A and B are shown apart, each in its own frame.
Chain A
Amino acid sequence: GDSVTQMEGPVTLSEEAFLTINCTYTATGYPSLFWYVQYPGEGLQLLLKATKADDKGSNKGFEATYRKETTSFHLEKGSVQVSDSAVYFCALIVGSARQLTFGSGTQLTVLP
């Protein structure tokens, strides 16, 4: 079946540090890939997406590149802020399916 594996958290960084959250996937078909973010007390929000190999999704300073050869979609940000503290979920949709398959989430805490 389809699955997503994320690096285990929690991750704690100082403000302005570089962030990488690893995500790899297994899919029976050709997936579209997503990063969702859940801020404290809020619902899940789409952060960025990529729908084909070598696409780079970007938003709010975050980036992720769809790497088919390594089945990965790692999330990066060059300089994190305290306001980036949240739980980050990697997810995929395969083919004509409509439902998202999520990883287990990575808790990020950024300290001032």
Chain B
Amino acid sequence: GAGVSQSPRYKVAKRGQDVALRCDPISGHVSLFWYQQALGQGPEFLTYFQNEAQLDKSGLPSDRFFAERPEGSVSTLKIQRTQQEDSAVYLCASSSQDRAYEQFFGPGTRLTVL
């Protein structure tokens, strides 16, 4: 079956622009996660949804970062007024209700802010 998909795969933005990154989780997965992966580092948690509810956003680095999942399926991570330090790969993952520990990751969106 289809895995987690993310779009776009690559995004180049000028400093100060707003960007929107999309995640399509595996169908039926109730949990959805966003992670940020800097070059040469492990992923770092940003935020977590269960269905449409955002239960944890403690990892969002600033109020320029905003995530939503209005219908409990597709999610969008929005970054306003992008800065160079926002350059990273943004990973989305989803998991099912009964195997919550097993997260399935998408290929990521590589964001470069010039």
Give residues in A with beta carbon < 8 Å to B. Answer: 4, 32, 34, 36, 41-46, 49, 51, 89, 91, 93, 98-105
Contacts and interface: CB of A to CB of B under 8 A. Distances in A.
Given A43-B4, A43-B108, A44-B91, A102 B42 contact: yes
Contacts of A45: 105
B43 A46 contact: no
Interface residues of B, number: 27
B49 to A, nearest CB: 10
10 contacts: A44-B93, A44-B105, A46-B102, A49-B101, A49-B102, A98-B31, A100-B103, A101-B45, A103-B42, A105-B41
Contacts of B108: 43
Interface of B: 3-4, 31, 33, 35, 40-45, 48, 55-56, 59, 91, 93, 95, 100-108
Contacts of A93: 101
A51 B104 CA distance: 18
Kindly name the residue among A44, A46, A89 whose own CB sees the greatest number of chain B CB atoms within 10 A.
A44
B91 to A, nearest CB: 7
Given A43-B106, A43-B108, A104 B41 contact: yes
B100 A98 contact: yes
A99 B47 CA distance: 8
A98 B33 contact: yes
A21 to B, nearest CB: 13
Contact of A51 (B31, B35, B55, B101): B101
Given A98-B33, A98-B48, A103-B42, A42 B107 contact: yes
